Amino acid sequence: MKDLELMTEGDINFSASREKWYQVIDNEATLNYLRDDEEHFLHQSLSTPCLDVLESCEGIYITDITGKKYMDFHGNNVHQVGYRNPYILDKVKRQMDILPFSPRRYTNPVAIEFAKKLTSYFPPALRRVLFAPGGTSAVSMALKLARIVTGKHKVVSLQDSFHGASMDAIAVGGEAQFKKGLGPLLQQAINIPQPTNYRSQFPDSDDLHFAGYLEEVIKSDGHIGAFIAETIRNTDVQIPSKGYWKKIREICTKYNVLLILDEIPIAFGRTGKMFAFEHYDIEPDIVCLGKGLGAGIIPFAAIVARNEYNVAKDVSLGHFTHEKSPLGSAAALAMLEFIENNSLLQKVKDDETFLRIAFGALQEKYSLVGDIRGIGLIWGIELVSDRNTREKATAEAEQIMYECLKNGLSFKVSQGNVLQLCPPLIITREELTRAISIIEAAIVNNVKV
């Protein structure tokens, strides 16, 4: 059980329940592909060995080679506007025919148009961008820029945090799973407690208390140049208070520490606003974006930074081959247009109200459901074996996940006991209702009520 509890980021791919899952698969071709995959790819946690073999995707669905469809409530957070969204595909295909790649010393109209559009959502003081081929590279650029701007090299982040899998990103991340056996990293980040945690030692304490840790660390160190955190934590869905973020902003400003918000998995409408920081009435210094930015088609990421940080012209912050990607820019531009044209932000807010009631009902009915947390279309259902001790119900969480998979609903388990639900923003009410029934049936099958 220990392994399961260690996994903040997701469920593991070498448990007994995973072995049982393979026994459910009765298609020869699927089993052959899975074996072939296992023989050729380096094995790693959260990836190879894999769950199933996909053939296609559309809307909220991924479909395997036998034709089985899963509603995808994970999608690595790239699928805000749904898979193979025809509006996006059309724009990307047209770009493909004109200019699919732009060598680094040149620019191109679609990259410029997208830079203008993206920054138009930000406060006027944050209008500088840099693009990258993936989220971890965006985090890397943000960390470099913070060093250059502040002249200070240390970073504070949150315990259990994840900001990407490259060496620099794991140095600031707080999850042991990603650092295990990897020797000395960059100047290690100092991890302070997560502000909100249902199962922490102080589960019901005011999260403002936790903001104070940042000030203590900064004061006692002297070399802290940045604080990096997800505005709202994606994995197990932790939503700090407005007071927390206002206090953190105040502390960062007071000590010339850059506030870097990692919104790689949660930007672009997931929380009911284009960016999560808009819920908090604060201005960050650098925002990292990725995943959904490429609209589920092109790997694409970015940082948006304060205008005054345009001070590194003699350093390469992100010397990436696929920097001003015309395809990434076309996908991202179309993604923003699609959100606007279809009033998705309002739809997500309405879905939030619906889900709060639906998940609230599950919590009332089943003692296994210890906590539900969510905003917009990102929800966590935290399962406990005892509501008083808040003991994690890890075995139940895993069983429920596999049962849901069997019944056509895919999602991740975080922290060993949190069902993490991130459907595409285009999901219909009927599909949401169906997903909730699949979850409820799995709960009923796996526990005493």
Ligand X SMILES: Cc1ncc(COP(=O)(O)O)c(C=O)c1O
Comparison of 165 and 444: residue with beta carbon closer to ligand X: 165
The size of the interface with ligand X (CB under 6 A), counted in residues, is 15
Comparison of 162 and 320: residue with beta carbon closer to ligand X: 162
Which position among 75, 174, 240, 290 is part of the footprint of ligand X (CB under 6 A)? 290
Comparison of 62 and 139: residue with beta carbon closer to ligand X: 139
Q: 12 to 71, contacts with ligand X by CB under 6 A?
A: none
Comparison of 234 and 399: residue with beta carbon closer to ligand X: 234
CB of 366 to ligand X, least distance (A): 29
Comparison of 294 and 416: residue with beta carbon closer to ligand X: 294
284 binds ligand X (CB under 6 A): no
Residue nearest ligand X, Cβ-based: 135
Q: 94 to 133, contacts with ligand X by CB under 6 A?
A: none
Comparison of 317 and 358: residue with beta carbon closer to ligand X: 317
Comparison of 322 and 347: residue with beta carbon closer to ligand X: 322
Which position among 207, 262, 351, 403 is part of the footprint of ligand X (CB under 6 A)? 262
Which residues lie below 8 Å from residue 313, measured CB to CB, with a gap of 6+?
A: none
Tokens of 34: 């899975």
Q: 127 to 166, contacts with ligand X by CB under 6 A?
A: 134-136, 139, 162-164
Which position among 10, 82, 265, 318 is part of the footprint of ligand X (CB under 6 A)? 265
CB of 64 to ligand X, least distance (A): 23
8 Å CB contact between 189 and 158:
no
Q: 205 to 244, contacts with ligand X by CB under 6 A?
A: 230, 234
Binding site for ligand X (CB under 6 A): 134-136, 139, 162-164, 230, 234, 262, 264-265, 290-291, 301
